[in-house]
Structure 1
Amino acid sequence: MTILLVEDHGFQRRLGLRLLADLGLTRLHEAADGFQALDLLRALPDPPDVVLVDLDMPGMDGVEFIGIVAQERLAHSIAVVSAMEPALLHTVQVMAKASGLRVLGCIEKPLTPGKLTTVLSLYEAEVIGGQVALDIEVTLDEAREALARGEIVPWFQPQAEFGNGKIIGVEALARWRLADGRMVPPAVFVPVMEAGGLIDELTSLMLVQSCAWWKRWQARGLDLKISVNVSAQNLTGPEVADRYEAVLREHGLRPEHVILEITESSVMSDTARGLGMLARLRLKGFGLSVDDFGTGYSSLSQLSQIPFTELKIDRGFVSGAPTQPRKRAMIETSLDLARKLDLKVVAEGVETIEEWQLLAQLGCDFAQGYLISAPVPGEQLPDAIQRWRQTHH
């Protein structure tokens, strides 16, 4: 792993480099300010895996630096290091993500081996199962061929009940592995498919393959619900509900086994048509989940009109919630709203024991995240569930 540490304070920089070296990392670069860091990044043959950047630097502050790194794609991911207040750190994190830069998280000063390990392990966790091709660009034709050749498959991330730790379901996540073993992230290929009208084909593929896996797991005594992501574009044709129901029937599943996850902002783009389709799906027995809750632009009145059965709290609110009062307040408000609307709640991105304990204490229903398991191929799911059972009991 290659790391660049950008820190204007000489002592802090030397301390950071020593801590990284103690963790066994050898490919380390350093810079004293944003200008020096940009010169170094532009000269490197390959972008570093992680840039650790302090926000409060003279000359060019960390916010401006992050903007340029995102624009020029000079790094695979960043982590913010700062003694600033958590609310400001969170704002910078959101800005970087919106610019298309992967953010591993914020490390509050002083640096410690534990804090560095936590953040760097997130980078490692996301590249397990193949090097993620973060800087790759794909064309519509390549995406179409990948679908036809079966290169895009579902991986599954388990969801656990807070009360007893039991695995109750999985989310199907599209994964595209290239011939050289690298993985194309969904953030790269899904927008291409949406723009090119392939998203319905992708959703159908996810649904069909997830149903096939469900039958195999059922034979091994695993009774799980499956969550499949649905784009607003999927909700336009009047026959969608019938088509999805037919896929399930063919594999011996009932709609009650399947939850369709709809991102909060996408539902609202064509409210009348979307509402009609969602109502039909709900009538047939499908569960409906509002994904990434709190990150869209919907009003609460629109949310109350849609027959959702589940609400997913976005990982951005979960990460760091035990130490950040604003995030905790957002979670409490979401849970309160969900109870009043009679919705079950899944917290995404649960990665630490402290986050698990806080969410359990606040009355959240289900957890999903690396604490339980990373997304895994279908054949590895029973083993992943077994590992979780052994650690939880």
Structure 2
Amino acid sequence: MPQAAAPPKVPPGRGKLRRILILDDDAAFREDLAEYLTFAGHTVSHTSDPTDVTPRSLCDTDILLLDLNMPGVDGVDVLRNLCRCVLSAQVVLISGSDKDVIEAAAEAGRMSNIRILGTLHKPFDPEELLTLIGGEAAEASIHHATARAPSVSQVAEAVEAAIAGGTVPVMFQPKCRPGDRAFGGAEALLGDVWPGLGRISPSAIIEAAGTMPGLLRRLTLEVVERAARGGAAWRAAGLDGPVSINMTLDLLTEPRAPALLAETVRAAGLAPSDVILELTEDAIYDSSSDALMALAQVRMAGFGVALDDVGQRQSGLLQLARLPITELKIDRALVVQSRGTEKSRSILEALIELGHRLGLKVVAEGVETEEDLSRVKAMGVDLVQGFVISRKLALAEFIAMFKEWRQSGATITVAGPEKA
């Protein structure tokens, strides 16, 4: 079995410190890797016994390093068992098997709602692991199983109160050109800390809001207004770029939706042409003619329309020709997968080329490392969004960051006008 390299001179405490559990049958590999990670400041335990990976141990673990290929132990079975317990840990799959095998196992884990942080093919440079641990996905909040989660009704009530009180946390993640990192706009995203709830994932907020009639619609309109005000604020600070907003299909297909959205953004100080509405592949491809009519209406009203999460399902790509969209957003999972396999890199490059052939702007999400940035830049992507530029920030922090870059003489500039 390949062994991790001897611990180099890594600055202790780099990034956020993690509690790491290594499950691998190779004792020398485990010990070397544990020594390396401990030297970097992390808390590490390791074992070759899969029965040590219990729901209780996972509650005290941030990241599980799982070897898929252990003599006498099927790592895929271990992965399958993780679906049956409340899992707080994120998982990094490591294996000397074929890269296609480890990527297939990772995708199966994601489909089972296991938090797959990434994959590493043996032998690997332990520095790659530190990059994964310090990446955007690893920085996401970790909810421990021992903490009492609020009920769906409690979350919905908190969302209602936040809308009424004007305290819905809306944050912004910049999109920049991959070459000179020029500012090209930003996506408005729900924050992770809510009044009355504390730290909670945006997906849990959306799910809860969808259980109460009209609440998700009100939340979406609140985000539209807050996002448009944010876009107006950064324009006043000298940053010229559109604001992107995730949109629900139910709201978009309402009879007066285009007029309502236009009124909302104009009242906040922006024109519809300064706003890009983002919809997912599934929302559009599985929709009716009403959805296509709605897309045509919002485009005629001046809004841009982005197809989000492109790459999660390739079967719908043939329908791109009939969609009045202006932007393709490559899904983070495909960007991550392109680190490890030639097949994934080829698919990513083909999507970027297809988007350009259709006259669309192409944005790569989840660009977390300089290597990711170099890869998508070489493939010709127009804009990047992800940890390598910035995590999502509150509006004041967002504007302050770009002002600081400008004052320090950094290469970050303001990109040219967006194409319609």
Normalising by structure 1, report the TM-score.
0.90
How far apart in 2 are the matches of 1:307 and 1:162? 26
Q: Residue 161 of structure 2 is aligned with which of 148, 154, 161?
A: 148
Deviation of 1:304 after TM superposition, in Å, equals: 1.3
String of CA shifts for 1:316-345, please: whole Å, max 9, x gaps. 111252552111111121122112211110
Q: Does 1:71 align with 2:77?
A: no
Q: Does 1:191 align with 2:207?
A: yes
How far apart in 2 are the matches of 1:375 and 1:228? 13
Q: Residue 357 of structure 2 is aligned with which of 336, 340, 345?
A: 340
Shift of the 88–134 alpha-carbon distance from structure 1 to 2, 3 Å rule, reads: farther
How far apart in 2 are the matches of 1:251 and 1:124? 32
- Relative to its length, the structure with more helix (as a share) is 1
For 1:204-283, list aligned pairs within 5 A: 204-283=221-300
String of CA shifts for 1:162-181, please: whole Å, max 9, x gaps. 34321110011112414588
Shift of the 74–186 alpha-carbon distance from structure 1 to 2, 3 Å rule, reads: same
Q: Does 1:37 align with 2:56?
A: no
SS in 1 for 2:225: helix
Q: Residue 94 of structure 1 is aligned with which of 89, 102, 107?
A: 107
For 1:1-393, list aligned pairs within 5 A: 1-26=18-43, 28-34=44-50, 36-38=51-53, 41-44=54-57, 46-122=59-135, 126-127=139-140, 131-133=141-143, 136=149, 138-149=151-162, 150-178=166-194, 182-197=198-213, 198-296=215-313, 299-319=316-336, 321-386=338-403, 392=411
Q: Assess if the C-alpha contact under 8 Å between 1:79 and 1:103 holds in 2.
A: yes
CA RMSD, 1 decimal: 2.4
Kindly provide the amino acid, as one letter, of the partner of residue 87 in structure 2: L
Kindly provide the amino acid, as one letter, of the partner of residue 101 in structure 2: L
SS in 2 for 1:106: strand
Deviation of 1:386 after TM superposition, in Å, equals: 4.5
Q: Assess if the C-alpha contact under 8 Å between 2:132 and 2:138 holds in 1.
A: no
How far apart in 2 are the matches of 1:102 and 1:4? 15
Q: Assess if the C-alpha contact under 8 Å between 1:132 and 1:182 holds in 2.
A: no
Deviation of 1:48 after TM superposition, in Å, equals: 1.0
String of CA shifts for 1:226-277, please: whole Å, max 9, x gaps. 0001122222311111110110111221111000110001112322111111
Normalising by structure 2, report the TM-score.
0.85
Q: Assess if the C-alpha contact under 8 Å between 1:236 and 1:277 holds in 2.
A: yes
SS in 1 for 2:305: strand
Deviation of 1:387 after TM superposition, in Å, equals: 5.7
How far apart in 1 are the matches of 2:35 and 2:124? 11
SS in 2 for 1:319: helix
State the aligned residue count: 386
Q: Assess if the C-alpha contact under 8 Å between 2:329 and 2:362 holds in 1.
A: yes
Shift of the 111–282 alpha-carbon distance from structure 1 to 2, 3 Å rule, reads: same
String of CA shifts for 1:299-321, please: whole Å, max 9, x gaps. 33422111000001111111252
How far apart in 2 are the matches of 1:106 and 1:289? 29
Shift of the 12–295 alpha-carbon distance from structure 1 to 2, 3 Å rule, reads: same
How far apart in 2 are the matches of 1:56 and 1:73? 24
Q: Bigger shift: 205-214 or 285-294?
A: 205-214
Deviation of 1:44 after TM superposition, in Å, equals: 3.5
How far apart in 1 are the matches of 2:404 and 2:73? 46
Shift of the 116–234 alpha-carbon distance from structure 1 to 2, 3 Å rule, reads: same
How far apart in 2 are the matches of 1:112 and 1:300? 36
Deviation of 1:90 after TM superposition, in Å, equals: 1.9
Kindly provide the amino acid, as one letter, of the partner of residue 152 in structure 1: V
Kindly provide the amino acid, as one letter, of the partner of residue 172 in structure 2: F
Unaligned runs of 5+ in 1: none
How far apart in 2 are the matches of 1:111 and 1:209? 44
